[in-house]
Structure 1
Amino acid sequence: MAKVFNYISDSFKELKNNVTWSPWAEVQKYTIIVSIFTVIFSLATWGVDTVFAKAITGFFNWINS
């Protein structure tokens, strides 16, 4: 159990002392950019899925008629 505690303690020390953290304003800016890209990419994926679903439905309706 002591090994786990030492590992966690050393990890926190490493994060605090040896990692260079970005300024908070930069993190917020990039978070907004990623969020916007995620929404756009999700809408594009939904649009392509809808088009293909309608195309496949139309194809099978055309075959069955």
Structure 2
Amino acid sequence: MAGIVNYVKESFGELKNHVTWPTWAEAQKLTVLVAVFSIIFSLAIWGVDTVFSKVVGFYFNWING
């Protein structure tokens, strides 16, 4: 149990003293960037999924005659 407590204390000290945190403006800018790329990526996946769905549907309609 002492090992876990020591680990938490050391982790907290590391985060407090050695991690370089971004400024508030930089964090906001990066958050917007991640949101925009997530939306673009999800739209691209949706588009590919729609195309494949149509292709498979046409294929099975062609097979079934």
**Bin for the TM-score computed over the shorter chain:** over 0.9
Letter matched to residue 16 of structure 1: K
- What SS does the corresponding residue of 1:19 show, helix, strand or coil? coil
Partner in structure 1 of residue 39 of structure 2 = 39
Gaps of 5+ in 1: none
Gaps of 5+ in 2: none
Count of aligned positions: 65
- What SS does the corresponding residue of 2:33 show, helix, strand or coil? helix
User: TM-score w.r.t. structure 2 length?
Assistant: 0.93
User: TM-score w.r.t. structure 1 length?
Assistant: 0.93
Superposition map of 1:1-65 within 5 A = 1-65=1-65
| Distance in structure 2 (CA, Å) of the matches to 1:46 and 1:20 | 37
